Structure 1
């Protein structure tokens, strides 16, 4: 499964094609799905184009995407920097009237367990984001672990080879804990394409898009998310 991560924390200053408004996100999502992505990961923005977890912003963005792409799974970020207050984040999640199919929760964040349980209580799927062995150990002991949708392993430090040592160590912790959830492996910037290729080699899900990087394998900046997804699908054909 290839997920398109359309914007992340990026702004138009990073790349003019970063989608920010609901209509831009919906149009970009439609192009990414046509190019071969199967799911979407979005950072919701408010009318000032700042990241948001407010119910009206979540509803506006999800409704715009689903109008264009009915039936396509859509996930949103709940990253701590969007709203660095545990009680406020919990209240926002509980206030949503239009629900995403899943949310991404970074397990290194202080209130990760509570956000996971709150989402699951509302029937929202959870992608558990792991960046380190410590994250893996914490997740392995977490209530509701096995009810999560999948594990996201993000590797930001280059480690050449067929399988990076960091991925191997994180997977080892999960296996010893009896965790058999699907894995989505992805990188960021210089590791985006190496981790995508590693995911193909090992049969993991992956993601590509402006959140993780804007460079093509050639080192040229991509025009948009569609070009990144099309490049990923061309690489996939070689495996």
Structure 2
């Protein structure tokens, strides 16, 4: 089994209004990625942006950004989010993915959105690994979980279940043993981000941080960069892992 990986979500669905820590332009995203990797991130997730700042899955946006990241020596797998924020129409998302000429290593597919299974299979057919994003907690997870369970995972080695938790609930994580045997990434947003990261460390799961998910450090101070969040996340993960032994 490989060691747990820390993924950095560079920008998520944020906008420039969320503050200076959010990278938007290709140059800023490259700088943020290099800083986060230097701080210890093992994988990068990015929401590509058009020149006007809107999320985009266009080949003319995705390809140059991926080339810039790799050309700058990012050195870790790079994923993109193939969600409705970039293309609301499910058929449009499929068309965009099929038009890519430069491929990411992974793509996040939100199983809360229609057309997720078809999109995930199209990505796998193109050689792109898939993060099947599923929210858990309350009633939010029922539909997405059902969609994921209904999707035949034919290549578990190239599929990871990315579970968004509203809080650090060990009971929900324990229930994942009934799901298909694929790698698991646990993450939370905003107030849930740090408790869930500690929970991921205790369970030996992949984890995620970055300004795409959380803008503040555990002590409440605004994060200055993705690199600062990654460094703090690794410190907390190490402490949580040691405490669970």
TM-score when normalising by structure 2: 0.89
Correspondences of 1:133-148 after superposition (within 5 Å): 133-144=142-153, 146-147=155-156, 148=158
1:7-18 correspondence to structure 2 within 5 Å = 7-18=11-22
Which of 38, 42, 53 pairs up with 1:38? 42
Match in the other structure for 2:119: 115
Judging changes above 3 Å, is the alpha-carbon distance between structure 1 residues 62 and 29 closer, same or farther for their aligned structure 2 residues? same
For 1:123 and 1:85, locate their aligned partners in 2 and report how far apart those are by CA, in whole Å: 23
Q: Is the 8 A contact 1:127 1:149 kept in 2?
A: yes
| TM-score (normalizing by structure 1) | 0.91
Instruction: Report the equivalent of 1:202.
Output: 203
- Structure 1, unpaired ranges of 5+: none
Distance 2:19 2:173 in 1: 30
Structure 1, 131-140 or 57-66: larger mean CA deviation = 131-140
Separation in structure 2 between the aligned mates of residue 81 and residue 32 of structure 1, nearest angstrom: 24
Matches within 5 A, 1:164-183: 165-169=171-175, 171-174=176-179, 179-183=180-184
Residues 77-119 of structure 1: per-residue CA shift (max 9 Å, x gap)? 0111321112211111111000000100011211001101110
What is the CA-CA distance between 1:228 and the residue it aligns to? 0.5
Partners of 1:54 and 1:78 lie apart in 2 by 11
Aligned pair partner of 1:21 in 20, 25, 43: 25
Q: Is the 8 A contact 1:117 1:144 kept in 2?
A: no
Q: Distance in 2 between matches of 1:237 and 1:199?
A: 11
Per-residue CA deviations over 1:118-168 (Å, capped at 9, x if unaligned) read 101111110101111432232122033544421100012x35x6x1x3333
Structural RMSD (CA): 1.5
Distance 1:139 1:145 in 2: 12
Indicate conservation of the 8 Å contact 2:33/2:74, yes or no. Answer: no
Match of 1:212 in 2: 213
Q: How many residues align?
A: 230
SS in 2 for 1:80: coil
Give ranges in structure 2 of 5+ residues lacking alignment. Answer: 136-140
Corresponding residue of 2:65:
61
C-alpha separation between the residues in 1 aligned to 2:147 and 2:96?
Answer: 24
Counterpart check, 1:153 vs 2:157: no
Q: Deviations over 1:155-210 (max 9, x none)?
A: 12x35x6x1x33333x1441xxxx11010000000100000000000100001001
Q: Distance in 2 between matches of 1:139 and 1:188?
A: 21
* Structure 2 residue matching 1:154: 3-state secondary structure: strand
- Once the two structures are overlaid, the 10-residue window that deviates more, 144-153 or 40-49, is 144-153
Q: 1:133 to 1:145 in 2, by over 3 A?
A: farther
* Separation in 2, partners of 1:152, 1:5: 13
Task: Look up the SS of the partner of 2:18 in the other structure.
Answer: coil
8 Å contact 1:78–1:103 — kept in the other structure? yes
